Amino acid sequence: MIKPRSVIWGLTILAVVLIVVFGYRTKLSLSNGLASVTSNINPFSSLENQIKDLEAENLSLRARLLEQEVSSEDQIKVFSTYPFNNRSEIAIDGGRNIGIEVKDVVITNGNILVGIVKSVSKSTSIVTTIFDPTFETPVRLGSSQIDALAVGGNILKVDLIPKDTEVKVGDLVVSADKDLPYGLTLGTINSIDEGKEDVFKSADISPGFEIKSLRNVSIYR
């Protein structure tokens, strides 16, 4: 005859075995499930990383393009010349080798008029600056766009300003010659000579650049 206590112990042992087996299978199933989920997530994670890499590469390319755009301005070097007080001409490091031609317009800082190319060799050019005594060009003054004539020299001047017009110190002086790009800056009005008997007045110009500080220029295209 089987004793009740033996039956109880047998059932207890069986229950423990079932719990262990069931727990192991559950753990194994969960592990497999997590592995499956992880394998499904990985492609998305990889795609996200690829998108981040592409964005970084795009930013890098944009930075390079911006750097090229900036460096393309005023890329022609200005030679040092003697005597140093000669402001009528400058020599620049570029000629036929980079497509410079006689009468090309030379500028600096984007829109400041430096002068006109006088002669060109294979790799250098001579530029007549706005300070040359022979330089003359029609200009317009200030917001009222008053017609006048800019005249070169050690002191850049504006002549033939109608006396009945209002010109102020600080007014912008820009090119208005048909042979030059319109609106290039020569400088600003520095002082005004009203004159006494003449029907015109004149003014001195504070130029947009100084020869002694000029290191780089570009050709207006």
Burial class (CB in 10 A: 0-12, 13-18, 19+), 10: exposed
pLDDT, position 82: 74
Mean pLDDT calculated for residue range 75-101 = 90
- 197: which DSSP letter? S
Q: Report the CATH fold assignment for 73-221.
A: Thrombin, subunit H (2.40.10)
Enter the tokens of residue 199: 């029907």
What mean pLDDT is predicted for residues 93-108?
A: 96
User: What is the rounded distance in angstroms from the CA atom of residue 129 to the CA atom of residue 108?
Assistant: 12
Sole residue written with tokens 């499930």: 33
Confidence at residue 195, expressed as pLDDT on a 0 to 100 scale: 80
Q: What pLDDT, on the 0 to 100 scale, is given for residue 94? A: 95
| CA-angle at 133, arms to 77 and 206, nearest 5° | 70
The pLDDT of residue 200: 93
Nearest to 199 by CA among 168, 149, 160: 160
Paired with 189 in beta bridges are: 205
Cα 66 to Cα 61, 73, 149, 215: the distances in Å are 9, 12, 38, 22
Element at 138 (helix H, strand E): strand 136-141
168-208 pLDDT, tens digit per residue, is 999 999 999 999 999 999 999 999 998 877 789 999 999 99
pLDDT at 140 over 90: yes
pLDDT tier, 24 (very low <50, low <70, confident <90, very high otherwise): very low
Give the pLDDT confidence score for residue 183 in this predicted structure: 96
* Biggest alpha carbon–alpha carbon distance for the chain: 148
pTM equals 0.66
Residue 50's alpha-carbon distances to 42, 44, 54, 60, in angstroms, are 12, 10, 6, 15
pLDDT at 144 over 70: yes
Residue at 178: amino acid letter: K
| CA–CA gap between residue 99 and residue 218 (Å, rounded) | 12
Residue 8 pLDDT > 60: no
**Max avg pLDDT among 38-42, 47-51, 80-84, 87-91:** 87-91
> Are the CB atoms for 145 and 171 separated by under 8 Å?
no
What does the pLDDT look like over 57-86, one tens digit per residue? 665 565 454 444 433 455 999 998 776 678
Domain ranges of the chain: 1-69, 73-221
